[in-house]
Amino acid sequence: MSAQVEGGTNVKLEDVTAEVRPRVPWESIDLGCALARRHMGSIMKAWALTIFPLWVLLAVVLRNHPVWFIVCTWWLKPVYDRVPMLIVSRALFGEVPSMKDVVHALPKLLSKRLWFALVVGRFSPARSLSLPVSELEGLRGVAYRQRVNLLERNGGEGATMATLVGLLLEVAVGFSMVLLVFMMVPSDISGRWWQGVTEFFQYSDVGELDAGFYWAVAVVRLLSITLMEPFYVSAGFALYINSRTLTEGWDIELAFKRLGARLEGLRNSKGLMLMAMITMSLGVMMTAPVSYAAGGETDARDLRQTQIQEVLADEDFKVHHRLVDVPVESSNRWLEDLFSRSDVSGFMGVIGSLIFYVVLAAGIVGLVYLVYRNRHVFTSGGRVLSLPNQPKTREVMGLNVSPESLPDDVVSAAREAWRAGDSQLCLSLLYRGAIASLIHRRHLPIEKGDTEGDCLRRVELMSDTPFEAYFSELTRVWVMVAYGKRQPDDGTIQQLCENWPFDQLSIERSAG
């Protein structure tokens, strides 16, 4: 007797390298992890030979779209799973495939039922358990569904938990690697990186992020997938083996095989052979009248079948089913009363299913909303040069610096105010105009709490700015007027108006 495992071909159960016995799901997962550890060298070699080139190819194709690269490499995980599955499934039955075998199987691995694996099977929570059904048994359609349903009865929940735990561990491994790197680099560099990570979670600043950040995330993701995926696949494969052991009695089959092998050894010894012959003779004598009466071997077999059928038809072999209601003492009497006229368990099951689907729908809607809200990240390869709707400071030092609050022609308005003798209004217009222009045109990050000195320092920090000298002079005169209550002379005002280096704000205002 043999079992059908890989590619629909028969494998010898007696060659299995692990103890085949019924296990609880967590024991099976443990066995899977042990298998992965034992054959990690082969798995990693095969991984490097097949998956790394695929990633390199993807990276070249999507070199300007790091976010899409991250999404694609995540989406293709079922394809990667086939590589460790090939190694582990064969290794369990004593045949570790060589790299030549892996390369030989590569076209099939990368192409077989790709649509199904990446679309229908991608979101199955028990993906690791159903993977061997499609990959090793080669079942499709209704037969696949029935087979998966059958196997999931003994390990489906274990496979789902393995998926969840695997997901968490993958994230943990990723974060651990990042923290390790953070600990290794100098604090000033890690500080800048940390700021980048913080900005990623702040929508308003995501535009500042470099594509390098996304590539770094991609590398961490790929490393964590490389470390965790072999264990996940092996755990699912072990659950699959366990489910088949429970369903098909592989352990009993193996026990019989071993018993048969032992008896085979006994038969080969001469003394025991004689004993066997006596036993057989007795058997022949007992069955001879019937056999001979039937007149042939075929008739004897038919007779045995008939006898078996008769025995099985007896009342003792009939399977009876009886449903018994077991009364359960509960403090929730009111709840029971409430549902007394209905099938409570069925009702609660429906409620549970409803809650599950509501939570699932909310999760999907939330995901879609997040993607929609951050769609700019996907449209420009993770780098946003400017955010048109980003709110900008509208007030600095109590001065309204929004373009709407200022006249079209700031310089003319300032001159008019100067002629009217209002020096503070004149300087205020020029200063507000300059600040508004720096904020809205040059994207200078001026905060509400910034003083004149802070604004000047920020302008000084701007590279290749032609405004520094002018703004410095304007700030000096403005401070004299605002805080010193001193009157500037006409020449100074004329000079400030004539040398005004900023564009008119009317365009900005109409755009904004």
Partner 1 sequence: MNEYQKPMEQADEVCSAPTHELSSGRAGSLCQQICGELGKVFFGQDHVVSQVLAALLSGGHVLLEGKPGLGKTHLVLALANTFGGQFGRIQFTPDLMPSDVTGFTLFDMKSQTFQMRRGPVFTNLLLADEINRAPAKTQAALLEVMQEQQVTIDGESIKLELPFMTLATQNPIEQEGTYPLPEAQLDRFLMKVVIDYPNQESEEQVVEQVTSVAAAKGLDARAVSQVCAQQDIIIAQQECAQIRAVPEVVRYAVNICRATREAQGISLGAGTRGAISLIQVGKAYALMNGRDFVTPDDLKSAAVPVLRHRVQLAPELAISGQRVDETIASIVNAVEAPRM
The closest of 385, 379, 375, 435 to 405, measured between CA atoms, is 435
- The residue (of 102 and 396) whose beta carbon lies closer to partner 1 is 396
Choose, by CB under 8 A, the member of 141, 327, 449, 466 that binds partner 1.
Answer: 449
The yes or no reply on residue 396 touching partner 1 (CB under 8 A) is: yes
Closest CB 509 distance from partner 1, rounded Å: 23
Residues 6+ apart with CB under 8 A from 399: 428, 431, 432, 435
Closest CB 64 distance from partner 1, rounded Å: 38
The yes or no reply on residue 457 touching partner 1 (CB under 8 A) is: yes
The yes or no reply on residue 191 touching partner 1 (CB under 8 A) is: no
Q: Give the integer Cα–Cα distance in Å for 16 and 430.
A: 86
Contact pattern from residue 352 through residue 391 relative to partner 1, giving x for each residue in contact according to CB under 8 A and a dash for the rest: ----------------------------------------
**Facing residues of 3 across strands?**
11
Closest CB 192 distance from partner 1, rounded Å: 18
Closest CB 440 distance from partner 1, rounded Å: 19
- The residue (of 158 and 488) whose beta carbon lies closer to partner 1 is 488
Judge contact between 459 and 444, C-beta under 8 A: yes
> What pairing do the DSSP bridges indicate for beta strands 10-11 and 395-396?
unpaired
**Facing residues of 10 across strands?**
4
Choose, by CB under 8 A, the member of 102, 377, 456, 505 that binds partner 1.
Answer: 456
Number of residues that bind partner 1 (CB under 8 A): 35
Choose, by CB under 8 A, the member of 486, 494, 507, 512 that binds partner 1.
Answer: 486
Please tell me the total number of residues recorded for the chain in this structure. 512
The closest of 128, 200, 204, 193 to 159, measured between CA atoms, is 128
> How far from 279 is each of 121, 245, 282, CA to CA, in Å?
56, 34, 5
The yes or no reply on residue 473 touching partner 1 (CB under 8 A) is: yes
The yes or no reply on residue 430 touching partner 1 (CB under 8 A) is: no
The yes or no reply on residue 398 touching partner 1 (CB under 8 A) is: yes
Neighbour-count burial of 342, counting CB atoms closer than 10 A to its CB (0-12 exposed, 13-18 middle, 19+ buried): exposed
DSSP state of 408: S
Choose, by CB under 8 A, the member of 17, 98, 281, 451 that binds partner 1.
Answer: 451
- The residue (of 146 and 487) whose beta carbon lies closer to partner 1 is 487
Q: Which residues, 36 to 95, sit near partner 1 by CB under 8 A?
A: none
Q: Give the integer Cα–Cα distance in Å for 101 and 108.
A: 12
Q: Which residues, 338 to 357, sit near partner 1 by CB under 8 A?
A: none
The yes or no reply on residue 494 touching partner 1 (CB under 8 A) is: no
Residues 6+ apart with CB under 8 A from 168: none
The yes or no reply on residue 397 touching partner 1 (CB under 8 A) is: yes
The closest of 107, 117, 105 to 75, measured between CA atoms, is 117
Residue 337 amino acid letter = D
For binding to partner 1 (CB under 8 A), which residues are involved? 395-399, 424, 428, 447-454, 456-457, 472-473, 475-480, 482-489, 491-492
